[in-house]
Amino acid sequence: MSLSSASKKITVPAIRAMKSKGEKISMLTAYDALMAEIVDQAGVDMILVGDSAGMVMGGRPNTLSVTMDEMLHYTRSVSNAVAHALLVADMPFLSYQVSVEQALTNAGRFLQEAGAEAVKLEGGQSMAGTIRRLTGTGIPVMGHIGLTPQSMHQLGGFKVQGREASRSEELRQDALALQEAGVFCIVLEKIPAALATDISQSLSIPTIGIGAGPGCDGQVLVTHDMLGLFRRFRPRFVRRYAELGDAMEKAVQAYIKDVKANTFPDESESY
Ligand code: KIV
């Protein structure tokens, strides 16, 4: 299905209503206008300008050094191209943890300067006060618990979270605290499928899983992962729907061969 320009704009209430209707929610990332336009026209429900941009676009080993300026730039580019999906911007590390005021200022910049319609931030119970202030100001917030990459050093890497009883209970409480603080949905990253199902059933707001099994209310993937463009490593939870990286490499090799053999350009490509 490809969307017509007359199709309906997805809003925060529409995302919440999808859970009540039992309709699964699709979300993908984008960091530039070209990719955002394709993903949007394909009909995805939400587009996330993830701080994964630091790794995918910036070639960095993790997301910790991504800045507000970079995220505002990526979000602006994506918002220029999105007509249908709900546009969510990821708040980078240290843009919301230092103080509630700083979080409000930075979250507001995504809406005011970059065209985002919601922000996402990582963390559970400890972020509830900050989230309450943002949602109370009219800024829709998406939560993110489980494997939270901005805390990778504290978590000891990119391990599955919630296998032990105490951590699984902590994640259940985190989810409830975020719902109570007013988030409109929560990303559950890399937690056991049974725990994600339990959490999803305990909440009235939708959960969006990544490496959290089929019991979530929706799913998110990094677009460059599912298209086979990001090839540096491949987490188990990534399903590849295309091998565009390999296709691009082959195309570039064919171009180089043609240039070396002087078979490009030919007469029809010349003036
Ligand atoms: O930064 C990102 O792309 C994310 C998703 C993987 C949920 O946070």
Cα-to-centroid distance, 90 and ligand 1 (Å)? 8
40 and 59 together in one domain:
yes
259 and 164 together in one domain:
no
Domain count, the chain: 2
161 and 255 together in one domain:
no
In the set 23, 113, 189, 269, the catalytic residue is: 189
**Which residue's CA is minimally distant from atom 1 of ligand 1?**
50
pLDDT at 30 over 50: yes
Percent of the chain with pLDDT over 90: 96
pLDDT at 245 over 80: yes
262 and 224 together in one domain:
no
143 and 262 together in one domain:
no
Residues 6+ apart with CB under 8 A from 114: 71, 72, 75, 76, 79, 89
207 within ligand 1 shell (Cβ under 6 A): no
20 and 115 together in one domain:
yes
Q: What is the pLDDT of residues 122-137, one digit of tens each?
A: 999 999 999 999 999 9
pLDDT at 38 over 70: yes
187 and 221 together in one domain:
yes
CATH number at residue 214: 3.20.20.60
pLDDT at 6 over 90: no
Residues 92-105 have a mean pLDDT of 98
220 within ligand 1 shell (Cβ under 6 A): yes
260 and 156 together in one domain:
no
Catalytic residue check, 189? yes
Closest approach atom of ligand 1 to CA 220: 7
13 and 101 together in one domain:
yes
179 and 72 together in one domain:
yes
pLDDT at 8 (0 to 100): 87
- Which amino acid type is present at position 253? Q
pLDDT at 3 (0 to 100): 58
Cα-to-centroid distance, 148 and ligand 1 (Å)? 9
173 and 199 together in one domain:
yes
Residues 91-120 have a mean pLDDT of 98
- Quickly state the pLDDT bin for 5 (edges 50, 70, 90): very low
Residues 81-107 have a mean pLDDT of 98
Residues 6+ apart with CB under 8 A from 129: 100, 181
Beta strands in the chain (DSSP E): 25-29, 46-49, 86-90, 118-120, 141-146, 185-189, 207-210, 218-221
Domain membership of residue 66 as a residue range: 3-240
Stronger pLDDT, 36 or 234, i.e. the higher one:
36
Geometric angle at alpha carbon 52, from 88 and 119, rounded to 5°: 20
179 and 121 together in one domain:
yes
Tell which phi-psi region holds residue 209, choosing left (phi > 0), alpha (psi between -120 and 50) or beta. beta
pTM value is: 0.96
Average pLDDT, rounded, for the chain: 96
